[in-house]
Amino acid sequence: MRADLEIIQEWIAPNSKVLDLGCGNGELLAFLQQQKQITGYGVEVDHDNITACLEKGVNVIEKNIDEGLASIDDSSFDTVIMTQALQVMYRPDQIVDEMLRIGKECIVTFPNFGHWRARGYLAFRGKMPVSKFLPYTWYNTPNIHFCTFKDFEQLCVERNIHILDRTVVDNEHKHHWSIRLWPNMLGEIAIYRITR
C-alpha cells in the first residue's frame, strides 16, 4: 500500500464510517474494509480508477468534488479523508469546511511547497519547481493551489480548525528526526488529522 495510506489507516477506528474524497483506485478503502470492517464510499472522477474500485468491491461515487458535497448530511461520517488532492481543488478552504461539516474528523494530505527543494528551485532557477514528486509544468499542472505547512496551519487558525495530529514525511514517506525538527523545510508530504 502507498506509504502515506499506511500512516493514515492507523488513525481509522474499526467499524467506523469513512468517506475518501479522491479515493484513487480504492486501495485504502479496500484495505480498511478488510482489516477494520469500515463502511463508506470513495469519491472519484478518473474513469480507470472508478473501474478499479468496482473491481475491488469498493463503493465508489463518480463526482467532481469541486461541485460540492451539499447532498451529504452533517456529521454523517466518522472520518473524511482527502489524500493528495487538496491542491487540485478550486477552493481548498471551502472543501476543508465541507469535509469538517460532514465528518467528525478529517484527514488531509498534501505536498509541501515549502520543502527545501521547491524553495531552491524557485530561488536559484527562477522557475516553478518541477521534480519527480511534482512532475508538471506551470501551464499543465492540475495542482492549482499549492501551499506550505505553515500556510495550511494558518488556515486552521483562521477557521478555528483543531489539529489533532500532524505527521510529516519525505518522498519515501519516512519521518526522520530532522523532519520533525524542521518540517516545513524538510517534509515533502504533510498528513494532518483535523476536527472542529
Residues that bind other proteins (CB under 8 A): 17, 39, 41, 47, 50-51, 53-55, 57-63, 71-73, 76
Residues pairing with 169 in the sheet: 189
Give the shortest CB-59-to-other proteins separation in angstroms.
5
The whole-angstrom separation of Cα 158 and Cα 164 is 16
CB of 11 to other proteins, least distance (A): 22
Please, which residue, 5 or 50, has the CB nearer to other proteins?
A: 50
Closer residue to other proteins, CB minimum distance, 79 or 112: 79
State in angstroms the smallest separation of the CB of 63 from other proteins: 8
* Spatial contact of 137 and 130, defined as CB atoms under 8 Å apart: yes
Instruction: Please report how close the Cβ of residue 65 comes to other proteins at its closest, in angstroms.
Output: 14
With beta carbons less than 8 A apart as the criterion, state whether 32 and 39 touch: no
Distance, in Å, from the CA atom of 21 to the CA atom of 149, rounded to the nearest integer, reads 20
Which is nearer to other proteins, 76 or 137 (by Cβ)?
A: 76
C-beta closer to other proteins: residue 7 or 29? 29
CB under 8 Å to 139, separation ≥6 — which residues? none
Cell output for 177? 528526526
Give whichever of 46 and 153 is closer to other proteins, judged by the CB atom: 46
The least distance separating other proteins from the CB of residue 144, rounded to whole angstroms, comes to: 23
β-sheet bridge partners, residue 168:
190
Q: What is the DSSP letter of 121?
A: I
CA distance 20 to 56: 15
